[in-house]
Amino acid sequence: MYNDKVLDHFTNPRNVGEIENASGVGQVGNAKCGDIMKMYLDIEDGIIKEVKFKTFGCGAAIATSSVATELVKGKTVKEALEVTNKKVVEALGDLPPVKVHCSLLAEEALRAALWDYAQKEGIEIEGLEEPVEHDHH
């Protein structure tokens, strides 16, 4: 059902953990399955220096967050905004269709963390909107 890359990121997820005094923290949940993801960003001079995540979720949620952290590490805030769930799924090769919604958690947690960062810094990030709670099906 899952390809090797997904299994690799699931069994050996990268960047798991927390960042103390993070520049931005975002937490999102999927109301349908109850899975939760929290993402921590450490941003210096507009560059994402460090990124960590914690997921209480399914294998696909873990694999997609893992790969999402790899995609944004070392990138600018603007580049990080381009990391959509589609990009995450592409980076993983493929996900079973029923699991694609799980990849939304990674994108949303990332955007929520960027939003938190912008709030703390008192800046506006172009193309970034306030995260909203919603249901995924």
Residues that bind ligand FES (CB under 6 A): 30, 33, 35, 57-58, 60-61, 102, 105
Q: Identify which of residues 124 and 137 has a Cβ nearer to ligand FES in the complex.
A: 137
Residue in 57, 43, 9, 64 with CA at minimum distance from that of residue 113? 43
Is residue 58 part of the annotated active site? The answer reads no
Tell me whether residue 33 is one of the annotated catalytic residues: yes
State which residue, 26 or 57, has the beta carbon closest to ligand FES: 57
The least distance separating ligand FES from the CB of residue 102, rounded to whole angstroms, comes to: 3
> Residue 41 in 3-state DSSP?
strand
E-strand spans in 18-59?
Answer: 24-29, 36-44, 47-56
Helical pair 4-11 and 85-92, crossing angle rounded to 10 deg: 100
Distance CA 12, CA 53 (A): 13
Find the catalytic residue in 16, 33, 47, 58.
33
**Catalytic residue selected from 102, 106, 112, 118:** 102
> Between residues 57 and 117, which has the closer beta carbon with respect to ligand FES?
57
CB of 74 to ligand FES, least distance (A): 26
CB atoms within 10 A of CB 32: 10
Residues with active-site annotation: 33, 102
